[in-house]
Amino acid sequence: MMFKVMEVGDGVEIEGPTGPINVYLEPVQNSGEVLIKAPGDDIGKNQCRIHGNTYQHKDLIKKLPYGHEGSEWTGEVWAVNKEMTTELAAVLTIAGVDVTIEGGAVAEDDGWGHLREEIELPGDDNASIQVMVGPSGPGDKVSRSWAEDAAEKGNYDSVEEFAEQFNLDVASDEEMQKVLEDDDDEGGADVFSSE
């Protein structure tokens, strides 16, 4: 699966050496001007091959720290560390380059946040990374059962650690159910469970 990196105001903020940008990943069939491939595709297992019009954009690619931990010229191709794909995508997208990325690369970089939704992992046709839709705005609460499911999916040690990481207000399931049933409550919850 391949995705186009699109600048979207309410997307996930990714950070690069030239600044932050809010992006969304849109599934596409054809690669863009630059394609960030999955790790290990004709390159080291901790790197992603940068495919496409890399010569024209080599100065942008070099904005990342040079070497195996950033971006580097291998003698044959440009490569980026699998945990730096967000940084590369940010630099290129800010510069107006049409960037696409393979799902395997997204799955390897936590910087993509919830955009890792349902990315098919290499080697297992049934495996996917799931994301749960959270509150839609500041001050919105989430139910305890939703937070427990989300913390488990995100491999957090506790609901409290998860809630602190994402600045979430966790309420009891009973309280959330009451809010959902109260049509007059404009601060009603958007999310009750993960189902």
Give me the residue label for tokens 């309280």: 175
- pLDDT at 18 > cutoff 80: yes
Q: Domain range spanning residue 23?
A: 2-116
Whose CA is closest to 98, among 62, 49, 51, 41? 51
Shared domain check, 82 and 43: yes
Angle (CA) 46-51-52 rounded to 5° is 165
Identify whether 124 is part of a domain. Answer: no
Q: What are the angstrom distances between the C-alpha of 47 and each of 20, 61, 135?
A: 22, 14, 34
Looking at the 3D structure of the chain, how many domains does it have? 2
- Give the pLDDT mean for 169-184: 74
What pLDDT, in 10s, does the model give residues 98-143?
999 998 899 899 999 888 765 655 555 544 445 555 665 556 788 8
Neighbours of 171 (CB within 10 A): 18
Domain boundary among 85, 116, 147: 116
Residue 138 contacts residue 184 (beta carbons within 8 Å): no
pTM attached to this predicted model: 0.61
Identify whether 159 is part of a domain. Answer: yes
**Parallel, antiparallel, or unpaired for β 99-102 and 71-73?**
unpaired
Q: What is the pLDDT of residue 117?
A: 66
- Give the pLDDT mean for 41-47: 80
Rounded Cα distance between 47 and 35, Å, is 13
Shared domain check, 136 and 76: no
More confident of the two residues 123 and 18: 18
Q: What is the pLDDT of residue 193?
A: 43
- Give the pLDDT mean for 33-48: 87
Identify whether 122 is part of a domain. Answer: no
